Structure 1
């Protein structure tokens, strides 16, 4: 059996680690040796505690990039991670190369880990990538724009990022990338999403859509406030300036709210206190929670959003960054949710809540989405990933 190293370098939240956990379980069941390197060992500890594989700290960029504009494409995201100059990038690449020299993997699988892919390419290692549409850009095309920005700036940024990566590859005598998108894809890009959720709205006929990969097990059983009113599951972070206003609006609209706010679970004071609102002490089991819910309020993170849609539950989405905004925009286009990205913290959140709950079109679109994806099986999907990776090893 093969030694497969799974790595995560960029991005926040638990989605990347969850995707790699499910893949690791499928590979281990087949008898492969699995090791992991993770951007954040602390935040992922509980999620991965039952996964018996070596977990290492991923080499990551630790320095602030001062004076850069908000990223307009993936190249400008990499500018914040050492890709402005080859001399800066060499240090992080060296960390990955040292790790791979010690581990001697047969295959490196990257989840938003472009520097790991670059280091593996410099060593002649076989590579693959897993990820949703955001960090798996279309091959053979310019990097898509993440927000409105001058086309000349985006093209120049893409060219600079590609030149930096290729300068490092040349220093190790490795083949250069042809296009900037190659830096994110590896030898076998595996697109773990559906066309309806694809951030870049690429041609559905031209891709293999494997479906979203998320952890669908564990968590607390749901316990709803007593009484009448719509049941709302809310997964919100205190870093979003409107999280308290939204919870207050839900209560004032007569909803029964079961909320997971990580900061409150960690001991911070709750932003709203009401007998109609219960705060979970830990992440909830989403399948039974969403099976009983009438509405899901979240930041449009893929794992929560995909499971809500599979359950036919409409969404009120409060995206916090570009990736979530693009996802929320796609869901809004499908009619299954409302993208509240442009609402200010002092907006009329009661009207937004009322609209999604009372307008039948949101629920109907969510139910139609669930019907289209009926039969999607997370474990079968991970077995498919495992088979594709094994074929790539031959």
Structure 2
């Protein structure tokens, strides 16, 4: 029996913890010992409550870095997490090293956890990365840009991140048998083995070249059975957050287009006011069972989160996407390129949402593209994918 430590360091939401939960379940079934360290123990508590493994607080960056431009690649995101100066990063790496020294894992697996992987490298521990294309840049190549920025700036940012990581690594020289410096900044995110949990159509890096796409990893179980408002209008499932400025405008446009809307808005479910009062909108009191809801829906409206996108596409349901941050924007762009949805990132609450919805509901090309996507991935199995992930990880074990 080997001891495998799963860790999550950067990023938000429940997707990272959900992916590690399913991987942990498979590894446990194969006889391994599993421990976890998580960026957020509070929000993940309910999701992981039935997973009987030790769950620890991951060392995370708690400080702000003022004066930096909007991040245009992963190096510039890393600057906000300690990678500006070796002196700052060294304490983070030391925290991970102390954790690994106490736990004594045989393998470290990171989901968007570059500092954990760096610490593992400094100790001579084997490591692997799992995650979407966003947090898993192409190994041995320049970091892809998320948005337009001067090439000189991107190159300088990448060089600075690489220098910081290698300086910290060199600082632990003599305490480990593995002190090879990184050749590229991208390698900090990859570990010894990179496992891509996405499909090529959704991969944020459009020029990755040769790669093995395992398919998206998401927790599909659970949720209440869908109920729809009475009537004859199209059924639309909406997963929206009140923090998005256009969420009310979208719901209003759906009602004006005669749709019946089942909406899960976490803030409303928690007791907050509904953004729109209408007999055509039913607000779910808790998360909805997505496979059931999407089997009946004509359209899915969401923020382009990984789990919702994947399940909607597997169901052959087109999407209206309102991304809230860079990773969601890149996902929405990829879906829009496939023809299976509309990326509304540039629209405002005052935009003509009814025209956008009318096209999505009446133009057959959107549903045709979504159904073609579903046909290409017919038979995709989360269980099989996680078994394959486990098999590949086992090849790294001593």
Tell me by how many angstroms 1:191 deviates: 0.6
Q: What CA RMSD, in Å, does the superposition of the two structures yield over aligned residues?
A: 0.9
1:297 equivalenced with 2:301 (yes/no): yes
Structure 1 residues 59-90: Cα deviation after superposition (integer angstroms, max 9, x where no partner): 10011111111101000000000000000111
Q: Which residue of 2 aligns with 1:249?
A: 253
Within 5 Å, which residues of 2 pair with 1:112-191? 112-173=112-173, 174-191=179-196
Is there any run of 5+ residues in structure 2 with no aligned partner, and where? Answer: 174-178
Secondary structure of the equivalent of 2:396?
Answer: helix
- Whether the 8 Å contact between 2:138 and 2:208 is mirrored in structure 1 is no
Q: Which residue of 2 aligns with 1:380?
A: 384
Tell me by how many angstroms 1:251 deviates: 1.4
Q: Which residue of 1 aligns with 2:311?
A: 307
Q: Which residue of 1 aligns with 2:20?
A: 20
Secondary structure of the equivalent of 1:34?
Answer: strand
Structure 1 residues 298-322: Cα deviation after superposition (integer angstroms, max 9, x where no partner): 1111110000000000000011111
Q: Which residue of 1 aligns with 2:176?
A: none
Q: Report the TM-score, using the length of structure 2 for normalisation.
A: 0.97
Tell me by how many angstroms 1:362 deviates: 0.2
- Whether the 8 Å contact between 2:238 and 2:301 is mirrored in structure 1 is yes
Give me the whole-angstrom Cα distance separating, in 2, the residues matched to 1:32 and 1:284: 33
- Whether the 8 Å contact between 2:304 and 2:328 is mirrored in structure 1 is yes
Within 5 Å, which residues of 2 pair with 1:240-389? 240-389=244-393
Secondary structure of the equivalent of 2:227?
Answer: coil
Tell me by how many angstroms 1:203 deviates: 4.5
Tell me by how many angstroms 1:351 deviates: 1.2
Q: Report the TM-score, using the length of structure 1 for normalisation.
A: 0.98
Shift >3 Å, 4+ stretches: none
Within 5 Å, which residues of 2 pair with 1:80-119? 80-119=80-119
Give me the whole-angstrom Cα distance separating, in 2, the residues matched to 1:274 and 1:188: 51
Give me the whole-angstrom Cα distance separating, in 1, the residues matched to 2:123 and 2:139: 22
Is there any run of 5+ residues in structure 1 with no aligned partner, and where? Answer: none
Structure 1 residues 143-178: Cα deviation after superposition (integer angstroms, max 9, x where no partner): 000000111000000000000000000000122111
Tell me by how many angstroms 1:30 deviates: 0.8
Within 5 Å, which residues of 2 pair with 1:6-45? 6-45=6-45
Give me the whole-angstrom Cα distance separating, in 2, the residues matched to 1:236 and 1:70: 25
Tell me by how many angstroms 1:202 deviates: 2.8
How many residues are paired up?
Answer: 393
